[in-house]
Amino acid sequence: MNLIIDVGNSKVKLAIYSKGRLLKKDTVSYARLKTTLLSWIADYPGITKAILASVGPIKSGDFKYLSDHFDLHILSSASKLPFKNRYNTPKTLGVDRLAVIAAASQHYALANVLVIDAGSCITFDFINDKNEYLGGSISPGISLRYKALNTFTANLPLLEPKAPRQLIGKSTNSAIHAGVIYGVLNELDGVIDEYRSNWSDLTVILTGGDAKLLSKRLKNSIFANPNFLLDGLNFILEFNTRSC
């Protein structure tokens, strides 16, 4: 069994895989990480391998606990990858982006795939039908846009993300919701259209924390997969184990 740990900017995603199948997953705070791990180890004594992908902070004590209890792989630019990485600056490429492209290479082998990860940031990553990762783009995520409106203006309130009922906002709050959500939707549809003008046989995957809010409102046809990053991390762990 494999333990998957994705340390994000504000939360930690955990999952257990066995023979490529997702058995359990959860999202926890940094404070609950150690307690959750202890509980999972007791329930799943067959866990032997683990992968850690971190774009956020992780305590040295938690790191030591993982390395002491498991055959731990830390995902980095030095990891063996199941695709050809054509990114010009691989050492600056986020491990979360490596993971979703790995999932694309696993689930859609030798296809042109655009993966959109809608989280703290919105990332667009493209792998072609030659199994080559070419790069992509990074844009502010939905929550970040709400925060920016509040932080960099004098009077606009900080709101929680919410799907607008209509295009035209009739109050300040509804205008913010319409501006942020419709702005993101049109951005995503526009980027997808640009890619499809170059690759007509494009497959588009939408994942990340805000995928549920966005998926049914896009004009373009997409596949929504909330576990895509976790799948990719498990695939990378297995790939590095086989490569050893």
CATH number of the domain that residue 132 is part of = 3.30.420.40
- Mark which of 48, 74, 100 sits at the end of a domain: 74
Among this protein's residues, is 96 annotated catalytic?
A: yes
Residue 238 falls inside a structural domain = no
- Mark which of 74, 109, 124 sits at the end of a domain: 74
Rounded to two decimals, the pTM is 0.92
Tokens 């391998």 belong to: 49
- How many domains in the chain? 2
Calpha distance 208→71 (Å, rounded) = 27
Angle at 55 between CA 81 and CA 235, to 5 degrees: 30
Please tell me whether residues 127 and 220 are part of one structural domain: yes
pLDDT tens across the length of the chain (244 residues)? 999 999 987 789 999 999 999 999 999 998 888 889 889 989 999 999 999 998 776 766 667 778 888 899 999 999 999 999 999 999 999 999 999 999 999 999 999 999 999 999 999 999 999 999 999 999 999 999 999 999 999 999 999 999 999 999 999 999 999 999 999 999 999 999 999 999 999 999 999 999 999 999 999 999 999 999 999 999 999 999 875 5
Please tell me whether residues 96 and 56 are part of one structural domain: no
Residue 37 falls inside a structural domain = yes
Residue 27 belongs to what domain range?
A: 2-74
Residue 58 falls inside a structural domain = yes
Catalytic residue among 6, 62, 96, 231: 96
